[in-house]
């Protein structure tokens, strides 16, 4: 009887040892598999993220235009010419181009030139409407206009300067909120903050 009891105790101890060793081995193995799977998923996510970034960079590069130029003749035969060192096409409207380091010219039939410089511009290649911004400067003969913004409407023969507008020539200097130029007659209309007007007309 005593011998049988000892045998049962030893058998129970053996079973417990086998159980704990089995559980420890397979639990550790499962944890290792989980870590491997997690690392694999993490690596896959990183690779996908890097691929997405590369595609976005590639798309932006493809969207950029270097040294672009457009030109158009108005109804009177005058030539409008615009050049930019860099430009990017609007993703929603391919007719809109965002330009940097811009130079534009309106060349009249008598070879007189109206030249515009700006840091940035938004150009519509369908109707050639151009909105210049940042360090805008217009030169025409002995006259100079500077402003923060310029809306140049070649189809309507008008240029509208807005915000911190400064006009000057050899004889006069004026500051205004808005200056309108008739591109056909070359008449300049200067409006000050108190709504007084100074009109300057080019002598032929």
Confidence (pLDDT) at 65: 84
CATH number (3.40.50.880, 3.40.640.10, 2.60.450.10, 2.40.50.140) of 65-200 reads 2.60.450.10
Strands 188-191 and 173-182: antiparallel
What pTM value is reported for the model? 0.64
pLDDT in tens, 117-152: 999 999 999 999 999 999 999 999 888 999 999 999
For residues 55 and 58, give the distance between their C-alpha atoms in angstroms, rounded to a whole number. 5
Q: Which of 138, 85, 79 is nearest to 106 (CA)?
A: 79
**Can you tell me the mean pLDDT for 142-170?**
92
pLDDT in tens, 34-48: 545 555 555 566 565
Residue-level length of the chain = 204
Cβ count near 37 (within 10 Å)? 10
Return the sign of the alpha-carbon dihedral for residues 8, 12, 17, 23.
Answer: positive
Contact 106, 113 (CB under 8 A): yes
Contact 130, 56 (CB under 8 A): no
| DSSP code of residue 74 | -
Please state, rounded to an integer, the average pLDDT across all residues of the chain: 78
Query: Which residues lie across from 4 on neighbouring strands?
Result: none
């Amino acid at each position: 009887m005593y011998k049988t009891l000892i045998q049962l105790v030893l058998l129970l101890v053996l079973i417990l040892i086998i159980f704990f060793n089995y559980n420890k081995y397979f639990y550790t193995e499962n944890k290792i598999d989980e870590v491997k799977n997690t690392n694999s998923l993490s690596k896959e996510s990183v690779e996908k993220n890097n691929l997405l970034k590369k595609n976005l960079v590639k798309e932006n590069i493809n969207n950029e235009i270097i040294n672009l130029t457009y030109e158009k003749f108005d109804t009177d035969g005058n030539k409008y010419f615009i050049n930019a060192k860099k430009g990017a096409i609007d993703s929603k409207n391919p007719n809109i181009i965002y330009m940097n380091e811009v130079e534009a010219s309106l060349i009249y039939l008598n070879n007189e030139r109206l030249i515009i410089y700006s840091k940035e511009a938004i150009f519509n290649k369908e109707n050639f409407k151009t909105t210049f911004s940042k360090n805008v400067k217009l030169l025409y003969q002995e006259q100079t206009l500077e402003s923060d913004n310029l809306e140049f409407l070649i189809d309507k023969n008008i240029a509208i300067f807005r915000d911190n507008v400064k006009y000057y020539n050899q004889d006069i200097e004026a500051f205004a909120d808005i200056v309108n130029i008739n591109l056909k007659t070359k008449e300049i209309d200067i409006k000050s903050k108190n709504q007084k007007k100074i009109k300057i007309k080019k002598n032929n």
